[in-house]
Amino acid sequence: MLTKPNQRIALLIDGDNAQPSLIEAIFKEVGKYGEIAIKRIYGDWTSSNMSNWKKVLQQWSIQPIQQFRLTASKNSTDCALVIDAMDILYMEKINGFCIVSNDSDYTRLATRSREKGLFVIGVGKPNTPSVFMNACHLFLTTEQILPSLESTPDPEKKPPPLLKTPKPNLPHKLESQITENIQKLQTIDPILPLAPSPCPPKENPSPLPKTPTSNWHHDDLEPLINEVVQTLQQMALTGNRPKNVTTLTNHIKMLAHSHSISEQTILQIITLLKQQKILNIADNQINYPSFPLPPTPAANPHHDLDSLVNEVAQKLQKMLVKGRPKNLTTLTNHIRALTRSHSTSEQTILQIITLLKQRKILNITDNKINYLS
């Protein structure tokens, strides 16, 4: 996760799908992950529904981008935002995007940014389509960020004055009689209470329930660590393994998205990866020792790995050039289909692809496959 102040974030706001009243909470929450270096908002500033943004833009130094509504049924704001985001992605030195919108049209922008190694934060209403939520590393709903705004004390805001209990307006004779009776009672017993307590305290109050911790046990971490190792092995084929601790943390958090994983648990996982000599860390940079090839699974007793590689290579050579797999995902599916009769595991498929590269049958760059023979 982006936590260092030198990490740069581009904040892009869809003015048609955002609220000016939330901008302070958005800046406070997104600012936890780095410096908001680029601040832009997109919309048709000639329309009346954008007038509430004027004061907010001046206060937070947000750059307004004009985009006329060309037709009544089409919204061109999202197109302008996506085009600017692509320019920023390839021309500016940033580490992440924050997209403020409820529109699922930004799903492809989020996935493309993640493919380039950027951290993506989404901000929108709770009813935002799940496809856009899942495309972001982190999605913050308006209900989640509003409490953070309310928790910030305002030094200029004074607490409300205490209400004074009005003194009952009793007749003078009645008031003097009540005072006299109280004095008589205190003379008889100075510590005599004037009235019993309506809610006497319990002698043994029940203890409050303990708050469960979010840290995982070591046994629970093992499946997640194995999944991280397998993912790093697959990424080794394309050369897109995380280069620093921040990117590795984002990948671990993405793999554990269905769990409530804490920063302490992520640190445990990285420590175990170092102990298992899966990676080394020096000056926040990650070095990977050469991964050994996974062992041949026992599910293929009658077919050794070489025969499977030869079978896959021959079938690829027989395929027309246009019909060959163009990326790693398609190649994996083809190998799984070609070797279906052998009950090929994911580890065996990874071995086959590695040996195809070693035999110079193909190369893989940025998840794209080039065939050499």
Q: What range defines the domain where residue 225 resides?
A: 218-287
Residues facing 282 on adjacent strands = 285
Half-sphere exposure of 76 (CA within 13 A, CB side): 10
For residues 132 and 29, state if they share a domain: yes
Q: CATH number, domain at 260?
A: 1.10.10
Q: For residue 220, with 0-12 CB atoms within 10 Å meaning exposed, 13-18 middle and 19 or more buried, which class applies?
A: exposed
Same-domain pairing of 281 and 309: no
Q: What is the pLDDT along the chain (373 residues), one digit of tens a residue?
A: 555 557 899 999 998 888 898 999 999 999 998 999 999 999 888 888 788 888 888 889 999 998 887 665 556 788 889 999 999 988 888 999 999 999 899 999 999 999 999 999 999 999 999 999 999 999 999 888 876 544 455 555 555 555 555 555 555 655 666 666 666 555 554 544 444 444 454 455 444 444 334 444 545 677 777 777 777 777 776 667 788 888 888 778 777 665 567 777 888 888 888 887 888 888 778 887 755 544 444 444 435 778 888 888 888 877 767 678 888 878 888 887 777 666 677 778 888 888 888 888 888 887 788 887 6
Do the Cβ atoms of 109 and 85 come closer than 8 Å? yes
CATH number of the domain that 58 lies in?
Answer: 3.40.50.1010
Q: Is residue 174 part of a domain?
A: no
334 with 282, same domain: the answer is no
> How many CB atoms are located within 10 Å of the residue 111 CB?
15
Query: pTM score, two decimals?
Result: 0.41
CA–CA distance, 136 with 122 (Å, rounded to integer):
6
Q: CA–CA separation, 90 vs 235, rounded Å?
A: 22
Q: Are residues 19 and 124 in the same domain?
A: yes
Q: In terms of domains, do 107 and 223 share one?
A: no
- Copy the structure tokens of residue 217: 């046990």
- 3-state secondary structure (DSSP) of residue 263: helix
Q: Is residue 144 situated within a structural domain?
A: yes
* One domain, residues 80 and 24: yes
